[in-house]
């Protein structure tokens, strides 16, 4: 087990929960002497190392490694094999994999389970049910072999980017393990330990040719990438290596080390600017926190009032239905509790309200802007500015109850990057904080 742990740590930085679960599985197998129960399904954004973790597990177990890509497979016979009466009949991918591995107990990675397609040739996702059910797969029937084959010794690992497209019975067979994105500190370590040496070798450079201090790697991550995984980062490092390789091949003198200010020459102008906290100079502007597929973001909710009869509410900023409803809820709640906030009743009749969430071209939706909108509205109506360096996230009900939301880890990291020191959350999100 210690050796397995070392191998996993050597190949992957971070991913603590994932490694823990794998080591537990290995411990059970060590005691039980046979492949035990559950089939693991790694779910996460592209580039977070789901497929390569399967390779590490095979190495840790000293077993053969087989990878079967399921993306776009739409014929059931690809899994179960064709009957031998057909011309060009072949065994299914599973048996082909077993043949390639020349072993009865390989580690088999079923890549991209969420990208299986359906066709008149049957539903391959349904054919996978037999493969992935530990109760059934000891008698897996391949149409080409036409005999039952025992798959119970195989360690199956599945990967997916998105759970919505996986059928419920198939999901039921597997144990979900979230491979969440890496935080900036982890990415810096991954780049220093794995990506830079790998790319240097690919581009024919020695260790002494390439000196990338951690400050520079951090600058690449902040200014040139925006993602959960590290694939984009890998590409940027490769781009930098190509320029160094060109210099070396042209017998130019290589720089002793690449500083953050040199990146412009190697990678071009900055591609992304991090959202910075913009201060609290105006009433009605509040900092909210949002979860996106590439990590957390901070966003601003702005409210302005203009004279006008009837108290019209205008919403802009490419908001989805949930956020529009949050804004209506927020206004209704304040209207009902005007006395509580010391807002005069006639304010609502004589002023039109406009709520805007900047970067109007980017679609935004999600259930975590409720309290931000309430705070923004109250701030605009009372003309009191919001406390500086403060961000918030949480959904609201019509009674003014704040509900817990997800993506807390990413949101806290976004706030940290933007230089915010205080965050308001629902009390029920305490469990997420303890985990972090």
Catalytic machinery residues: 368, 411
Per-state percent for the chain, helix, strand, coil, to nearest 5: 45, 15, 40
CB distance 367 to 345 below 8 Å: no
d(CA 313, CA 308): 11
CB distance 394 to 388 below 8 Å: no
CA distance linking residue 157 with residue 68, whole number of Å: 10
C-alpha to C-alpha distance for 34 and 24, rounded to whole angstroms? 14
Q: d(Cα 310, Cα 399) in Å, to the nearest integer?
A: 24
- Give the Cα separation of 98 and 108 in Å (integer): 9
Task: List Cα–Cα distances, 109 to 2, 69, 160, in angstroms.
Answer: 23, 8, 11
> 332: number of CA atoms within 13 Å, CB side?
12
| Cβ-based neighbours of 324, under 8 Å, separated by 6 or more | 315
DSSP strand E in 100-205: where? 107-111, 140-141, 148-149, 155-160, 174-178
CB 156 within 8 Å of CB 110: yes
**Could you give the residue ranges of the DSSP H alpha helices within 258-356?**
263-267, 321-336, 338-341, 346-350
DSSP string over 82-119: --TTSTT----HHHHHHHHHTSSS-EEEEE-GGG---B
Tokens of 268: 């071009």
Assigned token pair, 281:
């100079």
């Amino acid at each position: 087990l210690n050796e397995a742990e070392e191998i996993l740590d050597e190949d992957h930085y971070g991913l603590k929960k994932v490694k823990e679960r794998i080591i537990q599985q290995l411990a059970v197998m060590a005691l039980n002497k046979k492949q035990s129960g559950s089939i693991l399904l790694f779910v996460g954004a592209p580039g977070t190392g789901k497929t390569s973790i399967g390779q590490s597990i095979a190495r840790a177990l000293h077993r053969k490694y087989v990878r079967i890509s399921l993306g776009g497979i739409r014929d059931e016979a690809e899994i179960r094999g064709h009957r031998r009466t057909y011309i060009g009949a072949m065994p299914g991918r599973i048996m082909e994999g077993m043949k390639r591995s020349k072993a009865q107990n390989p580690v088999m990675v079923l890549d991209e389970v969420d990208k299986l397609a359906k066709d008149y040739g049957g539903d391959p996702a349904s054919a996978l049910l037999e493969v992935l059910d530990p109760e059934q797969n000891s008698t897996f029937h391949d149409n080409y072999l036409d005999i039952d084959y025992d798959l119970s010794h195989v360690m199956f690992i599945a990967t997916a980017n998105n759970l919505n497209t996986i059928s419920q019975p198939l999901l039921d067979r597997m144990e979900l393990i979230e491979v969440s994105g890496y935080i900036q500190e982890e990415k810096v370590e991954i780049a220093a330990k794995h990506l830079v040496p790998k790319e240097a070798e690919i581009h024919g450079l020695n260790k002494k040719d390439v000196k990338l201090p951690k400050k520079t790697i951090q600058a690449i991550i902040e200014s040139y990438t925006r993602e959960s995984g590290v694939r984009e980062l890998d590409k940027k490092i490769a781009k930098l290596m190509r320029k160094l390789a060109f210099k070396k091949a042209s017998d130019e003198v290589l720089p002793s080390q690449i500083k953050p200010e040199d990146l412009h020459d190697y990678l071009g102008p900055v591609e992304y600017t991090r959202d910075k906290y913009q201060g609290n100079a105006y009433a009605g502007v509040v900092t909210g926190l949002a979860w996106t597929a590439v990590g957390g973001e901070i966003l601003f909710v702005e409210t302005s009032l203009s004279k006008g009869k009837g108290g019209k509410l205008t919403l802009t900023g490419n908001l989805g239905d949930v956020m529009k409803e949050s804004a209506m809820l927020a206004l209704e709640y304040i209207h009902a509790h005007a006395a509580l906030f010391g807002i005069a009743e006639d304010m609502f009749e004589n002023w039109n309200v406009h709520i805007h969430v900047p970067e109007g071209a980017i679609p935004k939706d999600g259930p975590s802007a409720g309290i931000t909108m309430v705070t923004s509205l109250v701030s605009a109506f009372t003309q009191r500015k919001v406390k500086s360096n403060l961000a918030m996230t949480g959904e609201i009900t019509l009674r003014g109850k704040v509900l817990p939301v997800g993506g807390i880890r990413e949101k806290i990291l976004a706030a940290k990057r933007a230089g915010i020191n205080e965050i308001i959350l629902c009390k029920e999100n305490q469990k997420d904080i303890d985990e972090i």
